[in-house]
Structure 1
Amino acid sequence: MKHHLSEEELTGYALNLLTDADREALDQHLRDCPACQTALEGHARRQARMQAQLQAELAARSPSPRMTFAAIAPAVRRSRRVSRRAGVLEFFRSYGSVIAAAVGVILAAAAVLRNISWPLLGLQQNASLSLPFAAGIMLGVPAFSHYGQNRLQRPPLPWMWVAAMALWLGTALLGLYEIALLRDVLLRAYLRFGPPSSQLLAQAEALGSWGVFFMGGVWVALVIGGGEYHYHHVGQRASWRLFAWTVLAQLVLLTLPLLA
């Protein structure tokens, strides 16, 4: 070894952090280099002085005998409550969007299937009734449920069903993305305009989690109501008009991050 030991090598040698091969090489160099021996001795003295200072500070900062568990129990309980609340907020922040989206998809699909199968279920129940009076009352419900529909409207073509289903699913999935987008916009707005506090970030994240649940409920209502409306008006001008307004509103929501 033709160069002097570096600070890293001196630290590793003094703290026994080197491998056996490296330590043997440094031992051989130290036997032939008085300058490195002097540097190693000075480094060892600094390490010993730092260790002594650390021990003195620890002894000076040790808790007093009066600090018993009964004295610090209230502070421990408060810290546990804060940590538990922080754990709940962390769970909502990490999985709130996923849970809201999954529940929304399940509820939307179940509600649409229920609304689609409801008229057939009513007709099957009416056909099984045996009392004339009850049959007259119950058969009037599905008969008058179609009052006001245009009988001159042509039946929808297959491609209309496919297009309506694609638009409905596309706008529903885009709505899920916009929920996450609006959550980020809400967080930025609260961090920028919210009251100054040491817990500002935690408060903003909690507000974003509650906002996700609220927007998830609105999303479920719109998906269910829109699916039922498009099912009953597929291929009609009103259905395409509602799709156009829905896409326009979603495009407006996509521009909100540019303003935040």
Structure 2
Amino acid sequence: MPASSQLTANSLHAGYPGEDVLRGIDLSVRAGDPPLGLLGPSGAGKTTLLATLSGEHRPDAGGVTWDGRDVRKLRGTERRRFRAAVRFVSQYAMTISDPRETVRSRLEQAAKVARKGGRTHAVSATEMLDSVGLAEHHLARTMRTLSGGETQRVALATALATRPEILVLDEPMTAVDPNTRRRISDTLAATIRHLGIGTLIASHDVELLRRLCPQILFLGEGRILARGRLEEILSHTEHEEIRDLSENAAVAVQHYR
């Protein structure tokens, strides 16, 4: 895995007609670095930021690059390489168009994407599931029979199947129960560390980010309002959105009191 693999946003402005959502975002996710958290309340622009990082949403100013190349301009082989090397997992990622589709076929399709993107692939479907805490018997299940939490875990396994250089997660465990979430987050952290995957995790789940991310960015008012460890983020009480977070997440926050 190239140590230089890097996804970068420079002075990024983005939004929609009549609405400015992002107002000058700078961040970088590099292979081999510890996971980076993106914290912020609902509606802060996390999903817009991730869509812009993937090249699906056009920025109004600034830009996004992958290893120095504008992601909006990637075509053909380069685009396929990008989609295999930089995997995005949305909380709505698992659209099911074929009611007969199984977990096995979904994972095998991910492996095919990896090969088309020039990535070697020698990991079994069973190993992919094990990395997200699912048993081998899930392989035969059709996607439509899975619970919401199981579907999210298959989405994570599908992303890991390409052995990406960079992984970008948008609220990856909202449907997973708290006890299972803690177990999966520990396994996911070990997998990310072992494979050297640069990871950006966008969430409003303070406890999840505390467990996974040694550094966190707080997104609010369209800007990065604070950077650092969670306790450092929470010290920026001059920002109303951070004060609200501190007051509304008392259990997780108490860890740092």
Range class of TM-score, shorter chain: under 0.3
**Structure with the higher strand share, 1 or 2:** 2
**Structure with the higher helix share, 1 or 2:** 1
Q: Specify the structure having the higher radius of gyration (Cα).
A: 1
